[in-house]
Amino acid sequence: MAFAVLSSVHPVFGLYGSLFPAIIYAIFGMGRHVATGTFALTSLISANAVERLVPLSSQNLTTHSNTSVLGLSDFEMQRISVAAAVSFLGGVIQAAMFVLQLGSATFLITEPVVSAMTTGAATHVVTSQAKYLLGMKMPYISGPLGFFYIYAYIFKNIKSVRLEALLLSLLSIVVLVLVKELNEQFKRKIKIVLPVDLVLIIAACFTCYCTNMENTYGLEVVGHIPKGIPPPRAPPMNILSAVITEAFGVALVGYVASLALAQGSAKKFRYSVDDNQELLAHGLSNVIASFFFCIPSAAAMGRTAGLYGTGAKTQVACLVSCIFVLIVIYAVGPLLYWLPMCVLASIIVVGLKGMLIQFRDLKKYWNVDKIDWGIWVSTYLFTVCFAANVGLLFGVVCTVAIVIGRFPRAKTLSTKTMKEMEFKMKTEMDDETLQQVKIISINNPLVFLNAKKFHTDIMNIIQKENTGNQPLDEIRKYEQSTLLTSLSGICNEEATQPCLNPKCSLILDCSGLTFSDYSGVSMLVEVYMDCKNKSVDVSLVHCTASLIKAMKYCGNLDSEKPIFFESVSAAISNMHLNKNLSISDPSEV
């Protein structure tokens, strides 16, 4: 309901937007812990089209004319028609991107760009709620530098602030933040997490009803919430050309933020999501839901966090939550008439805490790669000064341009130029036990353009299944073939075979790694952690001091044993000492 207000439509349409997209994504999406529904960034973008095509000044002409749809006015129906058109066209764009397989192009959008864009957009959302938090009446302000015009208007009309609304907003924010922090601190000790948002809504409605705050203090309330779901209706096709800018913003910003959330949950719970399939899932969620008066949707951060907290493992949990949304639509909705808008705005602001605290990422980027720090700051400023889609576009262009400038022209982006060598170790305890060590030389800069490919190639080398039970003769035949193919200097699926022994070791020679950005450093740390989980020892040699510092800052590396060495021979000697191994033929190395 809060995000429906943010989208400049009646609050009831936020309930529909929390129902239909979630059901559709549960069928087509791959994120097991991702809950799709109303989203702050897409709501803010669609509000631009709603306010431009159906401004508040036109309300006086239609406010007394009611339609047959839930008893809402023509003005409210015109507004939701515009928002539904934005959702429809945004979904069509996402579906077209799926057909063109453009999901694979998301590697161009780096983590600093996504972090800066979402933080800037969250700043816009908080600013848009200032009028409700302060209880002020103010016109809709948007466009370039609209962020600053809003605050200029607030300071110019500071005397019109309602003290009651301000105090209630501050009290709501303090209660929400405090209880949520306590829930987070003691979530392992308590079995039931207090749903503070729900408790606050019930308490605010009851207090406002008993004290008649709407008439006594002039506080703005949600108002009438109609029951039921209206029959489906196609969005108006005659205004699609007028909302194409907002539709592109919804398609790109919504997808990027949703994919980042899906990939984060997939990485946390160790499964994978397909970028193109996510395009189809979100595209259908927007297209189909637009026929049911839904505002543009994307992955809902707060709802997804709720799935984490309840221990959900599949989309069935999201479908169960949809049952409760139906109960609200058919039974509870009318009881929310007395909910103050300042409390609803407070819920929005606190819900954006996860995005706003991304300012802390600045320290991380400064320590890992100062150029990424500069990209974050500039992308954030462009987002705040203009819009989320403009900031996203600037961040991508700026990142690609800087990498092209840093990349040595004589080098190639492909990691297939990695040189791979193998040598065998035999334990003094058991001559038949073979220890396989792979030495891989990284001869390219490691940046967002090739980081994912680098991870894939490394993982292809490492065996995922334990085949240590194979006969020794087969292993020796395999050794001969790998020794022959490893001399070619090509690392691909045909020429590279996975380790046969689950206790193999990997040495990464970083002498050719001239530079790396945050994505590259993060991928190196991820390779180390993945190899560690597969019982593969990893050593890095010829690393620069800046790379060592960045990796230690970026990830929780093993502090018990050294992983950085000055040379390959030093790494091999360390393996020999730790595992009490002797090299059978030093000349082979």
Could you list the pLDDT tens digit for every one of the 589 residues in the chain?
889 988 999 999 999 999 999 999 999 998 888 889 999 889 999 999 999 999 887 676 554 556 667 778 889 999 999 999 999 999 999 999 999 998 878 888 888 999 999 999 999 999 999 999 999 988 888 888 999 999 999 999 999 999 999 999 999 999 999 998 888 887 777 767 778 888 999 999 999 999 988 888 888 999 889 988 989 999 999 999 999 999 999 999 999 989 988 888 888 888 888 999 999 999 999 999 999 999 999 998 777 777 776 677 888 888 888 999 999 999 988 889 999 999 999 998 998 888 889 999 899 899 888 999 999 999 999 999 998 889 999 999 999 898 888 765 434 333 333 444 444 554 444 443 445 678 888 888 888 888 888 888 888 877 543 344 344 444 343 333 333 233 223 333 333 344 444 467 888 888 888 888 898 899 999 888 888 888 888 889 989 888 988 988 887 776 667 889 988 888 888 877 776 544 444 444 4
Residue 20 lies in a domain: yes
166 and 293 housed in the same domain: yes
Distance of CA 183 to the CA centre of its chain: 23
Per-residue confidence (pLDDT) for residue 432, from 0 to 100: 39
202 and 87 housed in the same domain: yes
Per-residue confidence (pLDDT) for residue 33, from 0 to 100: 83
399 and 446 housed in the same domain: no
12 and 154 housed in the same domain: yes
Number of structural domains found in the chain: 2
130 and 213 housed in the same domain: yes
Which parts of 458-510 are beta strand (E)?
Answer: 505-509
Residue 81 lies in a domain: yes
Per-residue confidence (pLDDT) for residue 491, from 0 to 100: 36
Per-residue confidence (pLDDT) for residue 487, from 0 to 100: 27
Q: How far apart, in Å, are the Cα atoms of 149 and each of 241, 379, 525?
A: 28, 20, 44
Per-residue confidence (pLDDT) for residue 579, from 0 to 100: 61
Q: Between vectors from CA 326 to CA 321 and to CA 331, what angle results, nearest 5°? A: 125
Whether the Cβ atoms of residue 419 and residue 440 lie closer than 8 Å to each other: yes
Per-residue confidence (pLDDT) for residue 66, from 0 to 100: 61
36 and 174 housed in the same domain: yes
390 and 448 housed in the same domain: no
Residue 482 lies in a domain: no
Boundaries of domain holding 122: 1-56+69-407
Whether the Cβ atoms of residue 243 and residue 53 lie closer than 8 Å to each other: yes
298 and 234 housed in the same domain: yes
Whether the Cβ atoms of residue 96 and residue 104 lie closer than 8 Å to each other: no
Residue 480 lies in a domain: no
Per-residue confidence (pLDDT) for residue 345, from 0 to 100: 92
Residue 288 lies in a domain: yes
Type of residue at 491? C
Per-residue confidence (pLDDT) for residue 515, from 0 to 100: 84
201 and 257 housed in the same domain: yes
The CATH number covering residue 544 comes to: 3.30.750.24
526 and 398 housed in the same domain: no
Residue 484 lies in a domain: no
338 and 446 housed in the same domain: no
3-state secondary structure 316-378: HHHHHHHHHHHHHHHHHHHHHHHCEHHHHHHHHHHHCHHHHHHHHHHHHHHHHCHHHHHHHHH
Which parts of 375-460 are beta strand (E)?
Answer: 419-427, 434-441
Residue 469 lies in a domain: no
Q: How far apart, in Å, are the Cα atoms of 234 and each of 39, 115, 231, 563?
A: 22, 35, 10, 60
Residue 298 lies in a domain: yes
80 and 140 housed in the same domain: yes
